[in-house]
């Protein structure tokens, strides 16, 4: 836990959506959690596709210092291009005139994400011996950017090295090999735990991945989307699938955000 | 040093300020009560009680028909509720949720630390899928902005213009007039638009792509006509 920062504001930056309210909800929820701790003088959210925008949210800051934490799962176009451009950042620390901004790494690449993945896996398949479980961490994947899969590959390596008992731990993707659609041949244990490595639930976790897994034959209706997580286990190919909601909805993600700020202070903060 | 937003809010309230967007704010004990303008003469006992900024954020997420409201300044905030908030800090948070950045945009505009970013400057800095918005024509922009941002769709005042000098011809003067001083006693806080929103950005992309496709189709048709198989 970091020490209180009574002269610092915090801005959590999410993607947001003009179509789907579920996209920004976890960012708001984590902001609520951190706001209640009183660690920061002010806590705000900003979004690419919702209000307030990144340009607007800076005007909301009354504090002489602000930490900007991208609530994104990996480094990439948004964290390296869009967010710095919209905030007017020139590096890790930027004097913006009325406040000095510190730009942290995205939440999804912090090593603490491992703790969340293991917690999610244990909750979703409660009571099932780990030795009888394969764990799949599933991401979007794209041939355009290696970073989109790096965060997941890193987590797989960490969890394998921990030897915490899973029959196997693998990464899989929607759009590049190893494909999540091939889960039955990629895994061997009788129980398969699938945790989407996404920042929010949305079309991918509600509809696309369940279809790729074979849990649903077609995208489910909007009103029943959340039900997809309540029908575990799914019996397919003589195995049981335990399907989790997106890792970004895990309440402990707020702690990872604070860990990311602590990491910034240790590694990047200029001497006072 | 810019003024504190909470202090500016307190001063406005002390001077009798009570209205922003579709809501009214009234003192209530040591705290504040918020309700929709449409409920100003409704018996409070018949309104749904809300007691936190977070409850107001959830309320503002949907219109009366249950549709998602990505634009908080759209004039379709549901009525039928009354929110009691214990102090200025929770009122500030509630207003930030109901009308994101409205207090900040207003105050920073008045103290001269915020300026409006023209449509051209906003579109020309885009990258990726929105880079194409830089190709929008002046006439397309005028038509898009005046048909998208009028008061029937959005209560914000459009402070940005086309290119830093060219105003929008299709708006009444009040829609684009920027305040030069704090509201007179008891007057509402205006909701200022200093940077065009993601909804307009996406609509501009569609406008340009649609025109480019139409031009491409016309060129192909002309080519086919000129050299029949």
pLDDT tens profile B158-181 = 999 999 999 999 999 999 998 877
Give dist(CA B123, CA B140) in Å, integer.
Answer: 13
In a shared domain, residues B128 and B181: yes
User: Does residue B145 sit in the same domain as residue B205?
Assistant: yes
- pLDDT tens for residues A157-172? 999 999 989 999 999 9
Contact A97 B117 (CB under 8 A): no
Residue B113 belongs to some domain of the structure: no
Band the pLDDT of B2: cuts 50, 70, 90. Answer: very low
User: Do B125 and B36 share a structural domain?
Assistant: no
Cβ(B63)–Cβ(B78) below 8 Å: yes
Inform me whether the pLDDT recorded for B147 exceeds 80. yes
Residue B111 lies in a domain: no
Of B100, B113, B198, the CB nearest to A98: B113
**Do B206 and B125 share a structural domain?**
yes
Position A14 scores a pLDDT of 96
Chain B residue with minimal CA distance to A15? B198
Instruction: Say if A20 is an interface residue toward chain B (CB within 8 Å).
Output: yes
Q: What whole-number distance in Å separates Cα of residue B40 and Cα of residue B225?
A: 66
Both B191 and B158 in one domain: the answer is: yes
What residues of chain A, 38 to 77, have a C-beta less than 8 Å from chain B? 44, 48-53, 55-57, 59-60, 62, 77
Q: Are residues B71 and B131 in the same domain?
A: no
Residue B41 lies in a domain: yes
Domain assignment present for residue B105? The answer is no
Q: In angstroms, what separates the C-alpha of B17 from chain A's closest C-alpha? A: 20
Instruction: State pLDDT tens for residues B7-65.
Output: 999 999 999 999 999 999 999 999 999 999 999 999 999 999 999 999 999 999 999 99
Shortest CA distance from B125: residue in chain A: A85
B197 touches chain A (CB under 8 A): yes
By Cβ distance, the residue of B117, B127, B202 closest to A18 is: B202
- Whose structure tokens read 């207090």? B103
Q: How confident is the model at residue A255 (pLDDT cuts 50, 70, 90)?
A: very high
Integer Cα distance of A60 and A57 in angstroms? 5
Q: What residues does A173 pair with on adjacent strands?
A: A139, A179
Q: Do A85 and B117 touch (CB under 8 A)?
A: no
Q: Residue A59: its chain B contacts at CB < 8 A? A: 101, 104-105, 107-108, 113-114
Where do runs of H (alpha helix) occur along chain B?
A: 5-14, 53-59, 88-98, 102-110, 119-124, 138-148, 173-176, 198-226
Q: Are strands B23-28 and B19-20 parallel, antiparallel or unpaired?
A: antiparallel
- Structural domain harbouring B63: 22-98
pLDDT digits (tens, 9 = 90+) for B55-75: 999 999 999 999 999 999 999
What is the bridge-based pairing of β-strands A5-14 and A65-70?
Answer: parallel
Mutation site for A-interface testing, chosen from B52, B62, B73, B101 by largest number of A Cβ within 10 Å: B101
Shared domain for B163 and B85, answered yes or no, is no
| B61 and B127 inside one domain | no
pLDDT tens column, A182-237? 999 999 999 999 999 999 888 888 888 999 998 877 665 544 466 677 788 999 99
Secondary structure of residue A224 in the 3-state scheme: helix
Q: What mean pLDDT comes out for the span A125-146?
A: 88
Which candidate in B100, B106, B201 is best for mutational testing of the A interface (most A CBs within 10 A)?
B100
Flag whether B5 is in a domain. Answer: no
Pick the residue from chain B with its C-alpha nearest to A52: B100
Please give the average per-residue pLDDT across A83-90, as a whole number: 97
- Higher-pLDDT residue of A221 and A271 is A271
What pLDDT score was predicted for residue A220? 59
pLDDT value at B125 more than 60: yes
Say whether both B155 and B206 belong to one domain. Answer: yes
pLDDT digits (tens, 9 = 90+) for A43-77: 999 999 999 999 999 999 999 999 999 999 988 88
Kindly state whether residues B91 and B125 are assigned to the same domain.
no
Proportion of chain A above pLDDT 90, given as a percent: 77
Tell me whether residue B109 is in a domain. Answer: no
Could you say which of B98, B130, B150 is where a domain stops? B98
Nearest C-alpha neighbor of A18 from the set A56, A49, A59, A45: A49
What's the pLDDT at B1?
A: 42
Domains along the sequence of chain A with CATH: 5-108+250-267 (3.40.50.1400), 113-249 (3.40.50.1400)
Instruction: Work out the average pLDDT over B203-211.
Output: 97
Contact A59, A88 (CB under 8 A): no
Comparing CA positions, the residue from A80, A153, A74, A82 lying closest to residue A108 is: A74
Instruction: Check pLDDT > 70 for residue A18.
Output: yes
Q: What are phi and psi of B67, to 5 degrees?
A: -85, 145
Domain final position from B98, B127, B150: B98
Q: pLDDT band for position B201 (50/70/90)?
A: very high
In a domain, B107, yes or no: no
Out of B48, B66, B98, a domain closes at B98
> What pLDDT band is residue B226 in, cutting at 50, 70 and 90?
confident
Decide if A59 and B104 are in contact by the 8 Å CB cutoff.
yes
Tell me whether residue B52 is in a domain. Answer: yes
Q: Which of A18, A56, A62 shows the shortest C-beta gap to B195?
A: A56
In this prediction, residue B123 has a pLDDT band, given cuts at 50, 70 and 90, of very high
Mean pLDDT confidence for A21-39: 96
Q: Which residue of A has its CA nearest to B108?
A: A59
Number of domains making up chain B: 2
CATH number at residue B176: 3.30.70
- Are B94 and B130 contained in the same domain? no
Residue A30 touches chain B, beta carbons under 8 Å: no
Cα-based distances in Å from B150 to A25, A113, A223? 28, 45, 32
Q: Does B111 touch chain A (CB under 8 A)?
A: no
ipTM confidence score: 0.94
**A59 to B114: CB separation less than 8 angstroms, yes or no:** yes
- Residue B125 shares a structural domain with residue B94: no
């Amino acid at each position: 836990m970091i020490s209180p920062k009574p002269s610092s504001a915090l801005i959590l930056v999410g993607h947001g959506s003009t179509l789907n309210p579920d996209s920004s909800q976890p960012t708001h929820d984590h902001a609520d959690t951190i706001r209640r701790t009183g660690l920061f003088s002010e806590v705000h959210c900003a979004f690419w596709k919702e209000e307030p925008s990144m340009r607007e949210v800076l005007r909301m800051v009354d504090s002489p210092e602000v930490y900007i934490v991208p609530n994104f799962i990996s480094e990439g176009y948004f964290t390296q291009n869009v967010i710095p451009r919209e905030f007017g950042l020139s590096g890790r620390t930027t004097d913006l005139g009325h406040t000095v901004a510190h730009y942290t790494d995205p939440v999804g690449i912090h090593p603490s994400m491992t703790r969340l993945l293991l917690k999610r896996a244990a909750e979703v398949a409660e009571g099932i011996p780990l030795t009888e479980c394969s764990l799949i961490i599933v991401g979007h994947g794209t041939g355009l950017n290696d970073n989109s899969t790096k965060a997941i590959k890193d987590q797989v390596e960490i969890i394998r090295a921990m030897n915490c008992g899973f029959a196997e731990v693998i990464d899989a993707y929607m759009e590049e090999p190893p494909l999540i659609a091939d889960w039955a041949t990629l895994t061997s244990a009788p129980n398969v735990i699938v945790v989407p490595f996404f920042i929010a639930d949305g079309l991918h976790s509600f509809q696309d991945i369940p279809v790729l897994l074979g849990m649903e034959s077609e995208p489910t209706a909007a009103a029943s989307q959340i039900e997809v997580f309540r029908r575990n286990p799914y019996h397919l190919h003589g195995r049981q699938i335990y399907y989790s909601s997106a890792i970004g909805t895990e309440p402990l993600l707020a702690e990872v955000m604070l860990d990311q700020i602590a990491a910034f202070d240790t590694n990047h903060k200029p001497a006072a | 040093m810019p003024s504190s937003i909470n202090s500016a809010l307190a001063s406005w309230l002390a001077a009798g300020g009570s209205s922003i967007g579709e809501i009214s704010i009234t003192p209530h004990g040591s705290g504040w009560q918020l309700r929709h303008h449409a409920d100003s003469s409704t018996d409070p006992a018949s309104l749904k009680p809300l007691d936190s900024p977070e409850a107001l954020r959830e309320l503002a997420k949907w219109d009366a028909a249950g549709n998602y409201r990505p634009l908080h300044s759209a004039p379709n905030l549901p009525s039928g509720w009354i929110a009691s908030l214990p102090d200025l800090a929770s009122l500030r948070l509630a207003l930030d949720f109901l009308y994101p950045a409205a207090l900040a945009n207003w105050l920073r505009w008045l103290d001269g630390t915020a300026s409006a970013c023209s449509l051209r400057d906003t579109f020309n800095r885009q990258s990726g899928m929105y880079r194409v918005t830089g190709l929008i024509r002046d006439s397309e922009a005028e038509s898009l902005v005046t048909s998208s941002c009028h008061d029937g769709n959005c209560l914000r005042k459009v402070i940005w213009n086309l290119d830093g000098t060219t105003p929008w011809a299709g708006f009444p003067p009040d829609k684009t007039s920027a305040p030069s001083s704090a509201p007179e006693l008891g007057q509402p806080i205006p909701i200022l638009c200093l940077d065009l929103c993601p909804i307009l950005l996406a609509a501009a992309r569609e406008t340009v792509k649609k025109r480019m496709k139409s031009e491409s189709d016309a060129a192909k048709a002309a080519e086919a006509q000129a050299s029949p198989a």
